[in-house]
Chain A
Amino acid sequence: MSWAQAILVARGLSRGWGGVCSTALTGAPFSQVPPQAPRGLHCSAAAHNPDSSLVPRPPEPPRRPVKALAVHEELFRPALDGARDKANFVQAVQNFAEYNVHKRGHVDFIYLALRKMRQYGVERDLSVYNLLLDVFPKEVFRPRNIFHSIFLHYPRQQECGIAVLEQMENHGVMPNKETEFLLLQIFGRKSYPMLKLVRMKLWFTRFKNINPFPVPRDLPQDPVDLASLALRHMEPDLSARVTTYQMPLPKDSPDTMDPAETHIVGIQSPEQQSALARHDPARPIFVEGPFSLWLRDKCVYYHILRADLLPPEKREVEEIPEEWNLYYPMQLDLAYGRSSWDDYEFNIDEVEEGPVFAICVAGAHDQATLAKWIQGLQETNPALARIPVVFRLSGSSGELLASSDLEEPPPPPPEGQEEEDTQQRQQQGQS
């Protein structure tokens, strides 16, 4: 690290790039590149949280010459009608090229543009990234000899190129041939942006489908749709049916705070239904929650209807009735079972849990709302009318509170903890 920095510093000084040098030393944006440099080809950029990017943050830049930014900032002035879309963005980039034939300050412009992309809703548009890369002057930053390519040639520009690719990566945009061609023209084959591109091309395809439970890229905005998506996401049984027990009132209605008006969406599979029908009415069932489920950047809170595990002595042994199958015997009358050396099952210590009978997602997490859900469930599960339902709603949902709600004293977490502990103890006692 220090070695690399020393080299860079030395190079920076020798080239008289005080500006670059100072950023390198203060370490804000540039320090993210050096760890990559010494490790060279073998390792990708340092792991950092997905939100971080190589683009310098606007609040920080007192170190950066503010004038240049201000100049470019006006390119991104909102249009007359206030619309911010791809056309405007493209227009801004083209304006930059027109306004600045020598492409002076293009690095700053690109950083600015990268920050603005989200506002214009083009952060997932490959052609826009290509357009941005096109802003770089061509052939200038290509290493001309072996020493150029050994040492970081035009580091600030390369860093900027990497920042563009990094932002692509964060938004899951796969570079195409044009990107590669542009990078070739700008930085040449032996450059860090090119390396980044190669790595992206290698790993993107491999990681793209790594999630066996894919979540759609654009989540539905409607809470009911989102809830049913979340429920489908959790429920493995494809026969399960999503039921909307209550639709939310339209947003503009005056009393949206009334919990009676929020949405209640539930899911139940036929198997869960029959398990509930078989449930011993003497044993209570519980509504528990809220538990959180993250779908991309949205969090959904759900509740479950569950029962405690039956104690082993009460479990019904599933016996095969004598006259069941008309065609072949369902069991053999033999005294011995599978031999131990033919038992391929791994010895897995499984924690058995009680059955879950249904899941719901509701807009409010209070008992009144959930009671409505139980009422709705009773229509398809008549047995539920006879079974006592206990609401075990933990106050500390872990739900993110909006800043306006902060005045309310949050429920003391230790209490919730205690409650859970006692529940666990109860369960242990029962099982």
Chain B
Amino acid sequence: MSGCGLFWRSVAARFCRAPAAFAVSRRPLLTSPPSRAFAKELFLGKIQKKEAFPFPEVSRDELNEINQFVGPVEKFFTEEVDSRKIDQEGKIPDETLEKLKSLGLFGMQVPEEYGGLGLSNTMYARLGEVIGLDASIAVTLAAHQAIGLKGIILAGSKEQKARYLPRLASGEHVAAFCLTEPASGSDAASIRTRATLSADKRHYVLNGSKVWITNGGLASVFTVFAKTEVVDSDGSVKDKITAFIVERDFGGVTNGKPEDKMGIRGSNTCEVHFENTRVPVENVLGEVGGGFKVAMNILNSGRFSMGSTVAGMLKKLIGMTAEYACTRKQFNRSLSEFGLIQEKFALMAQKAYVMESMAYLTAAMLDAPGFPDCSIETAMVKVFSSEGAWTCVSEALQVLGGSGYVRDHPYERFVRDSRILLIFEGTNEILRMYIALTGLQHAGRILTARVKELKRGNVTTIMETVGQRLRDSLGRTVDLGLTGKLGVVHPSLADGAHKLEENVYYFGRSVESLLLRFGKTIVEEQLVLKRVANVLINLYAMTAVLSRASRSIRLGLRDHDHEVLLANMFCSEAYHQNLFTLSQLDKHSPENLDELVKKVSQQILEKRAYICTHPLDRAS
């Protein structure tokens, strides 16, 4: 045991000692600088091929580095982390936390000059796969570094970084992100926590309480968002949000008892109260009054890792479930011989494959030089992977039947743990709005001129549009250049590529007509936005899968034929889903039940109850 400890320390030490290696490896290969964000261009019916094809690779050296690092971590997670005990006791044991710290896992994305590992997003994603084996640990670590200390990395000054990051990276201090309040979820305007400048203008006095703070009980450094009075450029005084770095030692920081949660029970979630906490002005994160942007940036950057984390969990889950399905016998046949069981494995493998592809594609985009805006992509990864996790975990449990439902098996824990994925880091509903609206905003700006001409009744534009529609309705073959002689997609995936092209083209058309129809009032059409987001998620997933499978074939990676199967299966499925969704987006489409849905829900919500009479009721 002590030997093991030594080994880890030596690994960690090696990583700390070898900043040079990482400095090189932080920039994975990417041939050209990004021109535009990939997802936004999809809204215009275009595929930005350079962004997604070929599937990003890491260099040999970098891969070796990752593998060397992943090995011991994986060993630690499979051999020493007792997820069941963590879940039952509702606490991660101290020695486990210590080992996580000694492995350097508390500072994965902290730059090396501040004592962190300085991992690129791709490597962070790779490690996430391992960490995802225990949801409580994954959430604790994510709360610490994906949001807790991210503010300091993104918006902190040099002094702040030097002061806080080393101890945070080593795990000596744990960070927490304090944004949510009883009255304020995603509504920033209703934040009640207030910071007032003291008379000597050297301190802010912080008052208020925050709820559902992961690591709230462990943390000693908090990123806190509070309202401050800011004098506007026109001289008026306004309440604006400011971000602060608050140490527990500043005084007046208390936390409630840990919440009793459904899943991720090992993570510490509690209320945090600030009472006359004196925060020095040097601890303002970013600008005074600029907290909103800081919060948004932190939230947007924290999401992409969920894809690989979930994929790692799913891969393990598939193995465990397959083991059961092949050994359990019914009617002298093993479960694996039944079609309905087989189907579940195909589904799980497909989801895992897709989310893995999306996660690594996005990670590579984020690693690209410059500051690429991949917030839509990360949100899509989060939505797809959280929902995939939920379905797959529940299907896996279904394979086990009754024995999956009891606590002897880990499946019920997986189900409980994975439910939170749909909720935190922005609920999937909210993220769908974000995905759709951000894209529509982009498309709307570009299409404005055209839409204006159409509205004004410019004959040429109208004729052009009508002609285009006519050609579309006659069933044109869409070719966006993914396949063919110099195509980026391998011929054996040509079918999927055509489907993607067709979907992308008609999605562009749909977006245009939606903007024409609704204009800026589309913000209110949440059901429409949901569909737009769903199509986009599918399109992005198809792209990622095609790109990855093409690469595998071309490089001749092991079992690439299996990947082709999964890719084709997913593309077909997503294609038909998209067709259906796009037809729902058409005006007067019979598939669209929005009006009915709205009526039903309105009536129910008016009465705040289920309305129908009991089937056994009589009129007389």
Contacts and interface: CB of A to CB of B under 8 A. Distances in A.
Given A325-B188, A326-B179, A328-B430, A336 B299 contact: no
B241 A205 contact: no
A145 interface: no
A238 B437 CA distance: 33
B188 A323 contact: yes
B328 interface: no
Nearest to A342: B517
Interface residues of A, number: 28
B430 A327 contact: yes
A71 interface: no
Contact of A327 (B426, B448, B515, B587): B426
B620 A338 contact: no
B455 interface: yes
Given A336-B451, A339-B455, A327 B519 contact: no
Contacts of B607: 238
Contacts of A238: 607-608
A324 interface: yes
B188 A331 contact: no
B262 to A, nearest CB: 23
Contact of A326 (B299, B437, B516): B299
Nearest to B618: A205
A323 B241 contact: yes
A334 B452 CA distance: 11
B441 interface: yes
A326 B295 contact: yes
Interface string A206-224: 0011000000000000000
B440 A208 contact: no
Taking chain B's interface residues, is the majority helix, strand, or loop, or is none over half, making it mixed?
helix
Contacts of A334: 441, 444-445, 448, 515, 519-520
B608 A324 contact: no
Given A326-B188, A326-B295, A332 B608 contact: no
A208 B620 contact: yes
A328 B438 CA distance: 8
B135 to A, nearest CB: 23
A404 B535 CA distance: 76
B4 interface: no
Given A324-B187, A338-B517, A339-B455, A332 B620 contact: no
Contact of A329 (B241, B438, B521): B438
Contacts of A329: 434, 437-438, 441, 523
A136 B268 CA distance: 81
Given A332-B440, A336-B455, A327 B517 contact: no
A338 B434 contact: no
Interface in A331-347: 331-339, 342
Interface in A119-134: none
B413 interface: no
B399 interface: no
B519 A337 contact: yes
A330 B437 CA distance: 9
A188 to B, nearest CB: 23
Nearest to A324: B189
Given A327-B434, A328-B438, A329-B441, A336 B186 contact: no
A331 B523 contact: yes
A204 interface: yes
A410 interface: no
A338 B438 CA distance: 18
Nearest to A335: B448
A330 B526 CA distance: 12
Taking chain A's interface residues, is the majority helix, strand, or loop, or is none over half, making it mixed?
loop
B523 A208 contact: no
B186 A327 contact: yes
Contacts of A327: 186, 299, 426, 430-431, 433-434
A408 to B, nearest CB: 44
A263 B295 CA distance: 53
A325 B430 CA distance: 10
A69 interface: no
B189 A321 contact: yes
B296 interface: yes
A304 interface: no
Interface in A132-181: 174, 176
Interface in B516-548: 516-523
Contact of B240 (A205, A323, A325): A323
A326 B519 CA distance: 23
A30 B447 CA distance: 79
B445 A333 contact: yes
Nearest to B517: A342
Nearest to A325: B186
B596 interface: no
A20 B140 CA distance: 95
B523 A336 contact: no
B187 A325 contact: yes
Nearest to B525: A338
A337 B452 CA distance: 11
A326 B296 contact: yes
Contacts of A323: 188-189, 240-241, 292
A339 B523 contact: no
B619 interface: yes
A123 B461 CA distance: 76
A332 B619 CA distance: 51
Contacts of B296: 326
Interface string B566-605: 0000000000000000000001000000000000000000
Contact of A336 (B519, B587, B606): B519
5 contacts: A331-B523, A334-B444, A335-B448, A336-B452, A338-B517
Interface of A: 174, 176, 201, 204-205, 208-209, 236, 238, 321, 323-339, 342
10 A-B pairs closest in CB distance: A205-B619, A328-B434, A323-B292, A174-B620, A337-B519, A334-B520, A336-B519, A328-B433, A342-B517, A332-B520
Given A329-B441, A334-B444, 19 more contacts: A201-B620, A204-B620, A205-B620, A208-B619, A208-B620, A323-B240, A325-B188, A326-B292, A327-B431, A328-B430, A328-B434, A328-B437, A331-B523, A336-B448, A336-B519, A338-B517, A338-B519, A339-B517, A339-B518
Interface of B: 179, 186-189, 240-241, 292, 295-296, 299, 426, 430-431, 433-434, 437-438, 440-441, 444-445, 448, 451-452, 455, 515-523, 587, 606-608, 619-620
